[in-house]
Chains A and B, each alone.
Chain A
Amino acid sequence: MSDYKALQEAVLKGDIKTALEQTQKAIDAKDVARDVLDNGLIPAMDEMGDRFAKGVAFVPQMLRAAKTMQECVKLLQPLFAEGDITSKGKVLIGTVKGDLHDIGKNLVAMMLEGAGFTIVDIGVDVSPDKFVEKVKETNPDIVGMSALLSTTMPAMPETIEALKTAGLRDNIKIMIGGAPVTEKYATQIEADSYASDAGSAVAKAKELLGIS
């Protein structure tokens, strides 16, 4: 078994180039893909998780490490055996109709992706019809909607209505967020969950799908 120290350091630094080189080196040395993942990448992410929990690593570092790990996993992808890796779930996410603000939505997407979810980001100013179309197309577990403006919030219940009409509502969980959005509003419009920030969005998504 190879020593994955250099790989781990690259993941912790968020140095994609070096991490990919190290992954390729392991592949060339005929390492088992599962070992690279279990003994190289995952311990590095665990270490990052610890550092983050202790407050010595910040969100940008965690996101960069997660992104680096994802790139390495892509490289390993063709070599995995059946069942080696599983996604935590698929989240389709967008900013609702009439609203072009996307930093909140992007942060949530990055955090979820870092936590192992598969993300389908459908952008900003997404109409209820487009949500319906993309849900049909990508079959997500969770649909996330974001709004920064109180005037665009009503597009959330409109979208939920459109999903109901299309017969898709029962197959998905709906999560909403954004500065003017509240827990109470989520209940009122019959969304399944509300998250007040990107960090709690991860916890809420896991809760919705019953995973830890």
Chain B
Amino acid sequence: MNSSANFYRPLTPANVKRIDETARQILKNVGVKITDDVYLDKLAKLGTIVDKDNGIVRFEDGWLDEMIGKAPHRYTAYSRDGKNDLHMGSGEVYFANGGRVFRILDMNTGGYRLTMLRDIANTAMLVDKLDNIRMYFIACQAHDLKPEFYHLNDFFEAFNHTTKHVMGGCTDIDGAKQVHALASMIAGGDDNLAQKPFYSIITNPISPLTIEGNTLSIIEYCTQRGVPITCAPATIAGATGPATLAGTLAQLHAEALAGVALAQALTPGAKVLYGAVANNMDLRTMELTMGSVEMGMMNAAAVQLAKLYDLPIYGTGGLTESKRPDIQAGFEKNFSNLMVAMTGADLIHLAAGMLDSGNSISYEQYVIDNENIGMIQRILSGIDVTDDTLALDVISSVGPGGNYVMEEHTVDHMMDQFFYPTLGVRSNFDIWEERDRPNMLKGASDMVLKTLRDCHECGEGVLDIELTAEIEAVFPQIDNI
């Protein structure tokens, strides 16, 4: 348990209640649009109030509470090697990279290019090696693939380059089926996979208050096979949500609760994360600003809203408007990652690697953010106050005028009290000069090259070579790189 999580509270308890009550009114009176007749019929049978003519589903309070009551408060997002099993709802705050961008800042050219399949393999390798990025998100679009086999190839490269839990989106049910079949082969069968699912699927409602039939079919398919999901609204204040932060939070909360409730109605007990990807428009230009300070505030507030129902949350932080790993990127990312972490989010996605308002990634940014997240984890672990850490004995024995350098107490605690940066430059001026003036970005670039080179040198892929051959025989559409 992180002792300093649950520290930041953008909303008072009374305002959490007001937002929640508003969201419940939205669900009861305005409702959610479902764009599929089959699901409208199904949901009518499952107890929602369905207005078939307008394709609207409304949720009575009692029904909503009953459904949300079925959602697990805790579950584990498994890794394949057991080293990074993530316990959602345990009070731990986990950070992950972020997803499905279109462009990458290419360290070889210094310019931007479209993302390719190799970028998924490379980012998965980076995340595998970066200790503070605890699960891997399918990082980008593979522009060198045909759309019908995106997901099969995305997830194959992810599984083949990290043993950490993998999370990604599927745009259709075929993609969800392909990924499940692939994961099942790796797990050694559907039952093994259902017992310890090592991937999760992300879906999204369309704000305001719309859920596609396609999305529901993915949710149903995954949850019935034990695969955890989220249905995370990416509500844009000023465009797809009200311009007020409170109004956008009320709508987002309604959308997120609808996602949880519908998943439970379709599959009681489904492993689901309450999802929140709040952001806003810059109303001067109508540009989406995922890196705004309000994004951090709203996503932190969303943690309070999820926790009102004791639901684990798929939170959001770490975004920036900047196009480069620079000063702006540093402080924008840090604001939201820290705020959302200090509210106690279970999972903070988009926390590493992102640039360009969520549209681009950079390998360097992965390693820089990993270090920043290390500092945030240090903040979360707090200041430990015990007889031993208060150190009265050692203060007494050293006494006035002495020093603590050689004390056993110092050696005992030097590793557990301090965060030691890998990339952050710490040296006195003369040494800094001698070392040819190191800086963080250069260090990050070197670290990326070294990590990727070492990974390549130790052989392609973490999946067993025979299994890979079997997978390729079953799925000729996989373009193993």
Contact = CB atoms under 8 A, between A and B. Distances in A.
Contact of B239 (A103, A151, A152): A103
A60 B283 contact: yes
A197 interface: yes
A149 B171 contact: yes
B286 interface: yes
B212 A151 contact: no
Contacts of A154: 147
Contact of B206 (A58, A100, A107, A197): A100
B286 A59 contact: yes
A176 to B, nearest CB: 15
Contacts of B172: 151
Interface in B283-320: 283-287
Contacts of A101: 206
Given A197-B286, A197-B287, A179 B147 contact: no
Contact of B102 (A107, A150, A151): A150
* Contact size range, B: 20 to 34
B141 A150 contact: yes
Contacts of B150: 150-151
Most buried by B among A152, A180, A182: A180
Given A151-B171, A182-B114, A197 B285 contact: yes
B35 interface: yes
Contacts of A59: 283-286
Interface residues of A, number: 21
Nearest to B172: A151
Contact of B212 (A100, A107, A111, A197): A100
- Main DSSP-derived SS at the B contact region: loop
Interface string A117-152: 000000000000000000000000000000001111
Contacts of A149: 171
Interface string B418-458: 00000000000000000000000000000000000000000
Contacts of A179: 102, 359
B84 interface: no
Contacts of B93: none
A59 B150 CA distance: 37
Nearest to A57: B284
Interface string A157-183: 000000000000000000000011010
Nearest to B204: A101
Given A100-B206, A103-B236, A199 B141 contact: no
Contact of A100 (B210, B236, B284, B285): B210
B17 to A, nearest CB: 30
Interface in A42-73: 55, 58-60
A20 interface: no
Contacts of B102: 150, 179-180, 182
Contacts of B243: 60
Contacts of A180: 102, 141
Contacts of A107: 239, 286
Interface string B243-254: 100000000000
Contacts of B147: 150-151, 153-154
B255 to A, nearest CB: 14
B468 interface: no
A180 B100 CA distance: 10
Interface string B194-208: 000000000000100
A198 B206 CA distance: 20
A180 B141 CA distance: 9
A149 B102 CA distance: 11
B240 interface: yes
A202 B253 CA distance: 35
B171 A100 contact: no
A100 B35 contact: yes
Interface string A184-212: 00000000000001110000000000000
Interface of B: 35, 100, 102, 114, 141, 147, 150, 171-172, 206, 210, 212, 236, 238-240, 243, 283-287, 359
Given A60-B238, A182-B102, 18 more contacts: A55-B284, A59-B285, A59-B286, A100-B206, A100-B210, A103-B236, A103-B239, A149-B171, A150-B102, A150-B147, A150-B150, A151-B172, A152-B171, A153-B147, A179-B102, A180-B141, A182-B114, A198-B286
19 contacts: A58-B284, A59-B283, A59-B284, A59-B285, A60-B238, A60-B243, A60-B283, A100-B35, A100-B210, A100-B212, A103-B239, A150-B147, A150-B150, A153-B147, A180-B141, A182-B102, A197-B285, A197-B286, A198-B286
